[in-house]
Structure 1
Amino acid sequence: MSLIEITDVRKSFGANEVLKGIDLNVEPGEVIAIIGKSGSGKSTLLRCINGLETINSGSIQVAGAQLAPDELHLKALRLKVGMIFQSFNLFPHKTAGQNVMLSQMVVKKTPKPEAEAMARKMLERVGLAHKFDAYPDELSGGQQQRVAIARALAMQPMALLCDEVTSALDPELVQEVLAVVKELAAEGMTLLMVTHEMRFARDVCSRVVFMHMGRVHEIGPPAEVFGAPKTPELRQFLGAQH
């Protein structure tokens, strides 16, 4: 059974239909890159999978459970699917460690000692064990994003959704964040990433989804999507990347 099953999902903002019937199944341990121009619906799709946006029609199932719009289901879903955004969304007045502890304690009601142990373990996993007591403004953008990844991992999700996690970073910091994501992929974490990093998509991802005007326009292994694009839209998009 697929870990995430997206069936004929449609989403509109007012009169603007942003997702026009998306079908996509994600298997456990798959690393999927979602590429495409701005406005093609990539981020909206992730936000729908995480329940941040409600869909107009179609269905989304995560680990066999149907995504329903009520709070109880959404809370359960967000426990299963972690999300990491472009902006790090860390609380500035809390240390890195406290940021990683907080959602465990609030959402999962994890006791403080356990939450702290988990936070230390996850910060170590992203190479920041020594920054447990540092505040966000004492960290580089790359380090803040790695704290955000640790925070998502601390919830022990079945899958991680990454929405352009490197696009707010200075170029020299991009690699340190991608290295962490690459490691997670190697460990078998299911990842769905909206990304502009084509080389990363080619090297690390098992499948690439090219979205165009609210639809899955092409999908396949990286070698196929990058090496033999079938449509003029994808050829044009890849040509514009260089």
Structure 2
Amino acid sequence: MSLIEITEVRKAFGDNEVLKGINLNIEPGEVIAIIGKSGSGKSTLLRCINGLETINAGSIAVAGAQLLPDELHLRALRLKVGMIFQQFNLFPHLTVGGNVMVSQTVVKKTAKDQAEAMARKMLDRVGLGHKFDAYPDELSGGQQQRVAIARALAMEPIALLCDEITSALDPELVQEVLAVVRELAAEGMTLVMVTHEMKFARDVCSRVVFMHQGRVHEIGPPEDVFSNPQTAELKQFLGML
């Protein structure tokens, strides 16, 4: 059984159908890159997988459990599937440690000392153990994004969704964030990434999904998708990069 099963998923905003029947199965430990032009539905698909957007048709199952649009199911789902955004969304009034602890204590009702131990462990994992008592505005953008990754990991998700997590960063900070993701991939974490980092997609991802106008247009191993595009749309997209 696939870890994430997306079947005939459709999503519209008003008259604008953004996802037009998406089918995609993701196996445990796979690292999936989703590429495509702006407006092709990439971010919307991620938001549907973790229940931030409700789908209009089709189904999404995570670890065998059907995604149902009620609060109880959605909360359970968000515990299982972590999401990291373009903007770091850290609380400015909390320390780095506090930011990594807060969702554990509020959502999971984890005891404070356990939450702190987990926060320290995950901050170590992203190379920021020494910043536990710092505040977000004392950190670089790359460090803030690594804190956001630690916060997601502290919830012990079975999969992590990354929505263009490097596109708000200065170019020199991109690699430090991708290095963390690369390590997670090596450890076997299931990752679904909307990304513009084609070299990263080629080196690290198991499959690349090219989305075009709300559909999965091409899908395959990176070497096939990048070296041997089958459609004019993908050729054009790769040519523009």
Fold shared, TM-score > 0.5 on shorter chain: yes
In structure 1, C-alpha distance between the alignment counterparts of 2:212 and 2:121, rounded to whole Å = 39
Which residue matches 1:134?
A: 134
Which residue matches 2:165?
A: 165
In structure 1, C-alpha distance between the alignment counterparts of 2:14 and 2:29, rounded to whole Å = 36
In structure 2, C-alpha distance between the alignment counterparts of 1:163 and 1:203, rounded to whole Å = 18
Which residue matches 2:30?
A: 30
1:9-158 equivalent positions in 2, closer than 5 A: 9-158=9-158
> Which SS does the other structure have where 1:148 is aligned?
helix
> Which SS does the other structure have where 2:156 is aligned?
coil
Stretches of 4+ moved more than 2 A in 1?
A: none
> Which SS does the other structure have where 2:162 is aligned?
strand
Matched letter for residue 240 of structure 2: A
Matched letter for residue 169 of structure 2: L
Q: Which runs of no fewer than 5 residues in structure 1 stay unpaired?
A: none
Which residue matches 2:8?
A: 8
> Which SS does the other structure have where 2:53 is aligned?
coil
> Which SS does the other structure have where 1:18 is aligned?
strand
> Which SS does the other structure have where 1:161 is aligned?
strand
Matched letter for residue 115 of structure 2: A
Q: Deviations over 1:104-134 (max 9, x none)?
A: 0000000000000000000000000000001
Aligned length: 241
Pairing 1:204–2:204 present: yes
In structure 1, C-alpha distance between the alignment counterparts of 2:63 and 2:46, rounded to whole Å = 16
1:167-182 equivalent positions in 2, closer than 5 A: 167-182=167-182
Q: Deviations over 1:20-75 (max 9, x none)?
A: 00000000000000000000000000000010000000000000000000000000
Percent of residue pairs bearing the same amino acid type: 85
In structure 2, C-alpha distance between the alignment counterparts of 1:78 and 1:52, rounded to whole Å = 9
Q: Which runs of no fewer than 5 residues in structure 2 stay unpaired?
A: none
What is the CA-CA distance between 1:151 and the residue it aligns to?
0.1
What is the CA-CA distance between 1:78 and the residue it aligns to?
0.2
In structure 1, C-alpha distance between the alignment counterparts of 2:134 and 2:217, rounded to whole Å = 44
In structure 2, C-alpha distance between the alignment counterparts of 1:137 and 1:6, rounded to whole Å = 38
In structure 1, C-alpha distance between the alignment counterparts of 2:136 and 2:213, rounded to whole Å = 37
Which residue matches 1:189?
A: 189
Matched letter for residue 43 of structure 1: S
Q: Deviations over 1:165-207 (max 9, x none)?
A: 0000000000000000000000000000000000000000000
Matched letter for residue 228 of structure 1: N
In structure 2, C-alpha distance between the alignment counterparts of 1:136 and 1:235, rounded to whole Å = 41
In structure 2, C-alpha distance between the alignment counterparts of 1:109 and 1:52, rounded to whole Å = 21
Q: Deviations over 1:199-224 (max 9, x none)?
A: 00000000000000000000000000
In structure 1, C-alpha distance between the alignment counterparts of 2:84 and 2:95, rounded to whole Å = 18
> Which SS does the other structure have where 2:2 is aligned?
coil
In structure 2, C-alpha distance between the alignment counterparts of 1:55 and 1:96, rounded to whole Å = 34
